[in-house]
Amino acid sequence: MQFLMLVCTDPTAEPYVASEDNIAEWVERNDAAGTRKLGERLVGAAKAKTVRVRNGSTSVTDGPFAELGELIAGFDILVADTLEEAIAIAADHPMARFGQLEIRAFDPFESA
């Protein structure tokens, strides 16, 4: 199964310490194990655009849609047999400590 792991900031988490961020090791380990298919950091939310179409009219606004303390900082696509396995992979990610991670299984769309 594939899972999307959203890597998010969290203002209630312990302060980020760059010297304790072993993200490169986490990426290398999970790429080698075949449990990480793809992942990237994202530019800051200040450079985001939110797009909406309402009544046939397109609206584009600066920044993220929600005014929240938590912002999406990146993502990874994980490969795991179960949700529990994906959670274990996520729990080892540095942002589990300095932020928060949201795990979602891919919805298996089947065309008719």
Polymer length in residues for the chain: 112
Tokens of residue 25, six digits:
């090791």
Q: List the CATH number of the domain containing 60.
A: 3.30.70.1060
Whether the predicted pLDDT of 97 surpasses 70: yes
Residue 112 in domain: no
- Alpha-carbon gap, residue 45 to 21, rounded angstroms: 21
DSSP tag of 63: S
Give the pLDDT of residue 108.
79
Q: Would 12 be classed as within a structural domain?
A: yes
Domain total for the chain? 1
Each residue's pLDDT tens digit, 60-92: 988 775 556 778 999 999 999 999 999 999 999
* DSSP letter string, 33-84: HT-EEEEEE---GGG-EEEEEETTEEEEEES-SS--S--EEEEEEEE-SSHH
Asked whether 7 and 75 are in contact (CB, 8 A), the reply is yes
* Predicted confidence band of residue 33 (pLDDT cuts 50, 70, 90): very high
Residue 90 near residue 96 (C-beta atoms within 8 A): yes
pLDDT of residue 56: 96
Query: What spatial distance separates the first Cα and last Cα of the chain, rounded to whole Å?
Result: 21
Q: pLDDT-derived band of residue 59, with 50, 70 and 90 as boundaries?
A: very high
Contact between 74 and 40 under an 8 Å Cβ cutoff? The reply is: yes
- Model-level pTM? 0.85
Helix (H) or strand (E) run with residue 2 in it: strand 2-9
- Give domain status of residue 83, yes or no: yes
Residue 32 pLDDT > 80: yes
Tokens of 42: 């994202």
69 vs 10, which has greater pLDDT?
10
Report if residue 59 sits inside a domain: yes
Which whole number is the average pLDDT over 16-26? 92
Mean of per-residue pLDDT scores for the chain = 91
Range of the domain at 7: 2-105
Q: Is residue 98 part of a domain?
A: yes
In a domain, 70, yes or no: yes
Question: Is residue 111 situated within a structural domain?
Answer: no
